[in-house]
A and B are shown apart, each in its own frame.
Chain A
Amino acid sequence: MSQHSKAATSLLTAEHLRWRTDGTLILDDITFAITQGSFTGILGPNGAGKSSLLRCLYRFVKPEQGVITFEQDDIWQLNANDYAKNVAVVLQETPSHFNLTVHDVVALGLIPHKGIFSRASSTDNEKIEQAIEQVGLTHKTKQNFENLSGGEKQRVLIARAIVQSPRLLIMDEPTSHLDVRYQIQVMELAKSLDITVIASFHDLNLASAMCDNLLVLDQGKLVCQGTPQEVLTKEMLSDVFGVCAHISEHHQHKVPHISYYYGYLTSEHEHGEIHD
């Protein structure tokens, strides 16, 4: 694909992003483009800058250098409310001690679309109920958000994002702290929305199964990007993550599947040597 046609189908691009805090360089010269309709995973060890990169994308922090565009517009030139109409974000932070029902939390997705004195119309309420149904929580609509399990909370937040009716969904480690079953459920839910998704991942196999496109960060630098087949190589795993692994093909959907080697001090495998 030529550079030109790539730019034409890109929903979001980042060019030469650089961001530092307290003198430490957190993001260093990051450039990429997200194709419309794609599912992009951001990988990297702890402290690689995954969350910081996402924060730049959802305008929580402003990079000191570089430009992020959404449909060819610089996101910092856009009105905050207009950006929120197009981009929804699911984060892992959850509030506590406040009595908001599931319905109330999902209704927050209306904020960018509503004037200050307007009431929620019946269409809005339908939209909210539909979103709650889509994440399979209709029976808990009136329950307190705080009393839900981690997986349910995450699904409520996704329902909120659905109500926001965005064109891009950003998720920061949506599956951490979740049981395997909910990890898969939450990710499949995100995929089923048929919109562009950017999510950071801890589980590389889950990322491999879900994503069309992967970005790998290491110490603030974008070290590689491409399809799971291109990115998930044993060289990358040992360079970036410092683990030795065998890559095979997942027997169901043919994406790369990683098996880690354990106890390689005594291992006789060819990849078992330790590089200091």
Chain B
Amino acid sequence: MIKSKQTNNNRISWLGIKHINQTVITITALLTCLVSFFCALSFGAADISFIDVWHSVGPAKAENDIGYIQRIIWDLRMPRAILALLAGSGLAVSGLILQTVTRNPLADPYLFGISSGASLGVVILIAFTGGIFTVLTPIAAFIGSLVAMMMLMLIAGRRQSQQVESMLLAGVALSFLFSSLTSLLLYHTDPQAVTAVLFWTMGSFSRAQWENLLFPTIVITACITFMLAYRRQLNAMLLGDESATTLGIKVNRFRLVMLLLSSLITATLVSMCGGIGFVGLMIPHIVRFFVSQGTVFGILLTALVGGIFMVWVDILSRTVLVNQELPVGVITAATGSLFFLTLLYFRKNRPS
């Protein structure tokens, strides 16, 4: 035990990250975000140089701006990049909430069955109304994720003392259940719709348009604000249910509210861009490695890093294959599962 503790210390001091200033991190993160955004506007099927991007976005309007570049940037890539940024920060924060209130570092909306519940909601809507994506989609997704959450609480919440442990197991089982139901429904749906739905379930930002960005922006900003307001209570949950109770927190109610918040974020994002897994798992871990997650700074940085990561995933999805778009979920699942395995491998060597 002593030995593994030492390796843990060594790992941290070896990276020399314990004393990095907050301002340095903030400036780096913001700059990276800006650069990533620029790249997202520049890279893609149509080659647009940084200069053109700068002319189009920058303050100095060029006289000879070319119409189609302007349109590609403003009508296609900009809303897409914004959606990716929103999705990344939303999922990262949603994962942070889940990991905190369940005290399980492996929690993620995808693993908890919340994403698949939301997907099922959407697929049911499509199967029964025929319309592909309508105003009702986010509502169906939220209902689906709520059903998943309710079932989770019902199964896991019976015994207070083991709530956290059984929640994870139940989440994984529910996730499979909902996925199988989704497949069953798809099997009986019109083949043309199936292709669209399948592509959507694998995650894509192709539906990004200015007019449907407003709703996720509001939801995610509101949720992050709410989380910042309750950051102290969230931290207290990390000390265990009993300790949190002694600090005057109504633990079960607080956990329920936070889980609902997390479902709301997940459902909003699923209805917009499908199932994107593992971001919620990965990002909070990476950030936690550098800064204390308990602060306002920690929460905001988690959101920002999640956003940056997702912008790059989107860039990759548009550029890896020529003239084709790779589903976003494929990329996040590939990086995420590798990360997950690494995490498990290193956790094995740590005292529990």
Where the two chains meet, the residues of A that have a C-beta atom closer than 8 Å to any C-beta of B are 55, 58-60, 79-85, 87-89, 91, 93-101, 104-105, 107-112, 114, 116-117, 142, 144, 147, 164, 170
Q: How many A-B residue pairs have CB under 8 A?
A: 98
Picked from A91, A108, A170, the residue with its CB within 8 Å of the CB of B235 is A108
A88 vs B238: C-alpha distance in the bound complex, in angstroms? 17
Beta-carbon contact of A93 and B240 below 8 Å: yes
B58 at the interface (CB under 8 A from A): no
Beta-carbon contact of A60 and B245 below 8 Å: yes
Chain A CB within 10 Å, residue with most, of B18, B235, B294: B294
By beta carbon, the residue of chain A nearest B295 is A104
Knowing A58-B245, A117-B229, the reply to whether A147 touches B9 (Cβ < 8 A) is: yes
Knowing A99-B288, A100-B292, A111-B232, the reply to whether A105 touches B247 (Cβ < 8 A) is: no
19 further A-B pairs in the complex, CB-CB below 8 A; given A80-B245, A105-B239 = A55-B242, A60-B245, A91-B240, A91-B242, A91-B246, A93-B239, A95-B103, A95-B239, A95-B240, A98-B238, A99-B292, A100-B235, A104-B292, A110-B232, A111-B232, A111-B247, A112-B247, A142-B18, A144-B292
A120 to chain B, nearest CB (A): 9
Knowing A107-B232, A116-B229, the reply to whether A100 touches B248 (Cβ < 8 A) is: no
A66 vs B230: C-alpha distance in the bound complex, in angstroms? 34
Chain A CB within 10 Å, residue with most, of B9, B245, B293, B352: B245
A2 vs B192: C-alpha distance in the bound complex, in angstroms? 87
Beta-carbon contact of A147 and B5 below 8 Å: yes
B131 to chain A, nearest CB (A): 41
Chain B CB within 10 Å, residue with most, of A55, A81, A85, A98: A98
Beta-carbon contact of A58 and B292 below 8 Å: no
B-side interface size class: 35 or more
A59 vs B246: C-alpha distance in the bound complex, in angstroms? 7
By beta carbon, the residue of chain A nearest B237 is A95
Contacts of A89 on B, CB cut-off 8 Å? Answer: 242-243, 246
Contacts of B291 on A, CB cut-off 8 Å? Answer: 99
By beta carbon, the residue of chain B nearest A100 is B294
A89 vs B246: C-alpha distance in the bound complex, in angstroms? 6
Beta-carbon contact of A84 and B247 below 8 Å: yes
B57 at the interface (CB under 8 A from A): no
23 of the cross-chain contacts (CB-CB < 8 Å) are A60-B245, A60-B246, A80-B245, A80-B250, A84-B246, A87-B246, A91-B242, A91-B246, A93-B239, A93-B242, A96-B351, A96-B352, A97-B105, A98-B100, A99-B293, A100-B235, A100-B294, A104-B235, A105-B239, A108-B236, A108-B239, A147-B8, A164-B247
Contacts of A93 on B, CB cut-off 8 Å? Answer: 239-240, 242-243
Beta-carbon contact of A114 and B232 below 8 Å: yes
Contacts of A82 on B, CB cut-off 8 Å? Answer: 248
Contacts of B240 on A, CB cut-off 8 Å? Answer: 91, 93-95
